[in-house]
Structure 1
Amino acid sequence: MRRWAAGLLLLAALVVGVWIARGEASPHPPGQWAPRAGVEPRYQDVSGLRVHYVRKGRGPALILLHGLGSSIYTWADVIPALAQDHDVVAADLPGFGGSDVPDELASSVYPATVLGLLDRLGISRATLVGNSLGGAVAVVLAARHPERVRRLVLIDSAGYNLEPSKRPMSLRLVGSAPVAAALDALPIRRWLVTRALRQVFYDPARVTPEKVEEYLAPLARPGATDAVRSLINDRSGFGLPALVSEVRVPTLIVWGRNDRWVPLADADRFAAAIPGSRKVVLEECGHVPQEERPAEIVHLLEEFDPGR
């Protein structure tokens, strides 16, 4: 681990030098996806936190929850189609995207914030769709507040991999003290984000400069990288996996066969623990099917949770 950190810091120094020499601004400013998806930024105050979200469409409520280090951008390619028959809400979890970074970030903040946002938006029941970290949050809500959850969709969900030792090396490096200091430099953030995305996607060609900028921009906010590190080092694990077996709402489990961050074996564990759940495996797909295979995700969601 120390050798990894030392090597990464050396690389950071080299990258910083190259970046300073170039002195170039990004030709791909973030946020351009929103007009294409037909959404505008909205905000709600939830327990003193300003929560950023988008909302589109009419019909049964569909709540989209992103993963660690991500944002509502991850749902950009599925929102327009889903909104034809659903009331679609995609929210940035605290510390990510455009939502506030709490002074103290604990795993308990996330389910409480989602529940509070539903209250503020007047949504009594919804289908929760969670990818990675968002899946863990959705599981907690489905287990503890089943009266608020109509259906549950887990897309390459966290839950059985929340122990720090079970996480990918990229995440463990970000959680280490030496690398944490280097993250304040834009070049090393850019290098880490690019490296992580190339692991997340089955096809690394999908990691375009625009995509890198969309993931990178929110991490430049004060405290944003602290939020990521806090979750990486959080050992509470949302009370998972113990809570998984308490889920009783109809559940769809979707997994990319080639997910290098959360193994396919975890999909089997979810399926075995949740009675009556259905599992779908997508071939040649990585950790974020909603970005890599958006049309198939839309089809699966509309089939599982028909709209109006």
Structure 2
Amino acid sequence: MEQNVVSGYKPVNNIDVYYEFYPNQASEQTIVLLHGFLSSTFTFRHMIPLLKKEFQVLSVDLPPFGKSAKCSRYKYSYQNIAQTVIKLTESFGLQKMILIGHSMGGQIVLNILHLKQEIAEKAILLCSSAYLKRSKMPLILSSYLPYFHRFVKYWFARTGVEKNLQASLYNHSIINEEMINGYLEPFLQDEIFVALTRMIRDREGDLPAKILKQIKTPCLLIWGDHDKSVPLKIGEKLSKDLTNSKLIVLEKTGHALPEERPIEVYHYIKGFLANNQTG
């Protein structure tokens, strides 16, 4: 790992959270990166080298993903994960934060803004999850069955990392061994499936429009026009409900923006942060 990164674990909110911190004394702003479902800080490996030149960067493995602990006592609700990120940033004493969330990470960003709007100057949502309901009751009840985590593992093995990547990307030619192995690695231990079973139970669903309309933080939404996971129409609806937001659509692009369009996304982020105008 590079010399100018501080990585490790912090015990916050009753769980050990893995982070990578890239200090930058020349920047007053800190970018906080939050990945999506079934992902990790690995998602941002192409964007971090670009961002850390201009900004201080904190990339977080959201529990239970990546290298963060998998704990059966932890509540894997969006609100609790958001609280965990807030407490982690407080432990670093961070000010003037810019929150960037991809997919489910975008929903965590919105939960953070709902809980503590003053925490961030601006937010960037990359194909953010939005308007998903809570899991249906039969699935929640099933999650209490002994060994239900084995069904979760079986489902994951059937869909497979490569298939998930193909569904997330418009350009399949960028899929390689490094990418497949990077996304597969956190799922080689059984603990993750026990935690995912708990998440089925705890996840309360995305924030409703009524709450989204109360968020006044300037938000930049960036979407792929070929996003199959969170279609563009979701981004269009979200941009209407977030009253201080702007939507940018990238052509011939799927869901995994940090993989497919890291340079373009970086330039849009830089432009958005340089512009003092809102909306």
TM-score, length basis structure 2: 0.85
* Conservation of the 8 A alpha-carbon contact between 1:131 and 1:155: yes
* Conservation of the 8 A alpha-carbon contact between 1:259 and 1:287: yes
* Conservation of the 8 A alpha-carbon contact between 1:95 and 1:101: yes
SS of the equivalent of 1:237 reads coil
* Among 237, 255, 259, the residue aligned to 1:287: 255
Q: Which amino acid aligns with 2:93?
A: G
Distance 2:89 2:191 in 1: 26
* Conservation of the 8 A alpha-carbon contact between 1:125 and 1:147: no
> 1:193–1:208: structure 2 CA closer, same or farther, 3 Å change rule?
same
Within a 5 Å distance, the mapping from 1:114-193 to structure 2 comes to 114-164=85-135, 180-181=149-150, 184=153, 189=157, 192-193=160-161
1:271 aligns with 2:239: yes
Q: Please give the per-residue CA displacement for 1:123-165, whole angstroms capped at 9, x wherever unaligned.
A: 1341100011100010011122111111011100012134448
* Among 76, 96, 101, the residue aligned to 1:106: 76
Aligned residue in 1 for 2:39: 70
> 1:230–1:275: structure 2 CA closer, same or farther, 3 Å change rule?
same
> 1:243–1:231: structure 2 CA closer, same or farther, 3 Å change rule?
farther
> 1:74–1:188: structure 2 CA closer, same or farther, 3 Å change rule?
closer
| Identical positions, percent | 27
> 1:50–1:305: structure 2 CA closer, same or farther, 3 Å change rule?
same
Within a 5 Å distance, the mapping from 1:18-97 to structure 2 comes to 34-35=1-2, 39=5, 41-58=7-24, 59=27, 60-97=29-66
In structure 2, the gaps of 5 or more residues are: 137-142
> 1:195–1:250: structure 2 CA closer, same or farther, 3 Å change rule?
same
* Conservation of the 8 A alpha-carbon contact between 2:107 and 2:206: yes
> 1:282–1:162: structure 2 CA closer, same or farther, 3 Å change rule?
farther
Aligned residue-pair number: 264
Structure with bigger helix share is: 1
TM-score, length basis structure 1: 0.78
1:179 offset after TM fit, Å?
8.8
Q: Which protein shows a greater Rg?
A: 1
Q: Please give the per-residue CA displacement for 1:187-230, whole angstroms capped at 9, x wherever unaligned.
A: 96385111111100111222212111111111123421233344
Aligned residue in 2 for 1:302: 270
SS of the equivalent of 2:70 reads coil
Q: Which amino acid aligns with 2:67?
A: G
In structure 1, the gaps of 5 or more residues are: 1-33, 166-174
1:182 offset after TM fit, Å?
5.2
* Conservation of the 8 A alpha-carbon contact between 1:110 and 1:137: yes
Distance 2:255 2:230 in 1: 7
Q: Which amino acid aligns with 1:273?
A: D
SS of the equivalent of 1:262 reads coil
> 1:233–1:205: structure 2 CA closer, same or farther, 3 Å change rule?
farther
1:228 aligns with 2:196: yes
> 1:257–1:227: structure 2 CA closer, same or farther, 3 Å change rule?
farther
> 1:232–1:299: structure 2 CA closer, same or farther, 3 Å change rule?
farther
* Conservation of the 8 A alpha-carbon contact between 1:257 and 1:285: yes
